[in-house]
Amino acid sequence: MTSPRGGRVRARLLDADHPDRWLDQDELARLEPSDRQLLWIDITGTFSAAMLEHLRRHIELVPRTRAALERSGREPFVALHGEYLHVRVAVDPSDDGSEQGGWLDAIAGKKVVLTRHDEPVPFLDEMDERIQRDATAGILSTVAFFAALIDGAITSYHTAVDRIEDDVDDLDAVLLRGRAGDELLHALVVARRRIARLRRLLADHRSIFTALASPEIGGVLDDPEAVSLLQGLGARYDGAMGAVEDSRDALLGSFDIYMSRTAQRTNEIVKVLTIVTVLLLPGSMIAGLMGMNVVVPLDKDDPLSFWMVVGALALLAVLIVVAARLRRWI
């Protein structure tokens, strides 16, 4: 179905006694779900007044909820309005600083679950494919189905963390191979910013999942399993936050590797310069002694004296290099 303003509406009836099926606009308008049925209405795009009229039979939205659905907000939101629970959470979050990623409004009413989002949400399609193979999906409570939706959003947070960790692992592999240039430092800084953005987004949801885990909401929903299901969402959210923290620790480990490789490279340069200095220092000292205005053991007018000095310096350099090799300095 398509709304007058361009939004796409799909409605699936989950039935415990009959095959699940899609509903057209007329069926949706006159359907009354039974206790063994669950109606899922998914809206992609704009939310129109005409669409609201079609939904009025199944769920009566208060003005605040209607305004929230029409506004397409980009911030977490939770509200309990008598007969339904309304939550807005981020899904498929972007960690690259762009406005990519989406927001999902999920409303759990009596035998009805309503979802609304601006762009297609991949895990909703995956959920639809999964539940259509489950002949008993209709006996799910709305709270259980709602919890599955929010759990899918949390899974998308883990997916974003996995993308970052894969990139960090690639950086570690490059660093361990000995490359530690400025471009790698830039990549590490970019990864740190990605983690910071994702952590900030998830931290904004803390109050949402704290509210969902409160016994008050579970009690108002009048569902024996509501409290445990919603508290389970809080635990899953804590796991996502923990995964972000772990990725930050992994990135700090990458910085340690970078600093270690940089320090090692610096030590190698200093070692080379030290060896060169040690090789040249005896020559400088001998040349200084030979240039003194005093009588020296060698005849200054004999060309052979020059080659004797050069030979002595070469022999001394060889002895220094051999000693350094024996002591494993080079």
Helices (H), 134-214: 142-176, 182-203, 206-212
pLDDT, tens digit, for every residue of 47-99?
Answer: 766 677 667 777 778 888 888 877 777 888 888 887 788 899 998 887 554 54
Q: What is the pLDDT of residue 190?
A: 86
Write down the pLDDT at residue 294.
55
Tell me what pLDDT residue 290 has.
Answer: 67
**CATH 1.20.58: which residues of the chain?**
268-326
Percent of the chain whose pLDDT exceeds 90: 3
Report the pLDDT value the prediction gives residue 4, as an integer from 0 to 100.
Answer: 37
The pLDDT score that the predictor gives to residue 49 is: 67
Q: Whole-angstrom Cα distance, residue 151 to residue 147?
A: 6
Phi/psi class of residue 265: alpha, beta or left (left: φ > 0; alpha: ψ in -120 to 50)?
alpha
Residue 218 corresponds to which tokens in the numbers above? 């579970």
Ranges of residues in the chain whose predicted pLDDT is under 70? 1-7, 48-50, 53-54, 95-101, 131-140, 178-181, 218-224, 289-301
Provide the pLDDT for residue 298. 66
Report the pLDDT value the prediction gives residue 136, as an integer from 0 to 100.
Answer: 55
Q: Quick one: pLDDT at residue 99?
A: 46
pLDDT at 133: 61
Whole-prediction pTM: 0.73
Q: Fold for domain 8-260?
A: Beta Polymerase; domain 2 (3.30.460)
User: Residue 6: what pLDDT?
Assistant: 46
Pair type for strands 77-81 and 37-44 = unpaired
Closest CA to 152 of 233, 245, 74, 241: 233
CA 178/CA 184 separation, integer angstroms = 11
What's the one-letter identity of residue 192? R
Which CATH code is given to the segment(s) 268-326?
A: 1.20.58
Of residues 105, 146, 116, 125, the one with CA closest to residue 47: 116
Q: Where in the chain is the domain with CATH 3.30.460.20?
A: 8-260
259, 244, 255: which is closest to 165 by C-alpha?
244
Pairing of strands 77-81, 112-117: unpaired
Q: What is the pLDDT of residues 300-321, one digit of tens each?
A: 667 777 777 778 778 877 887 8
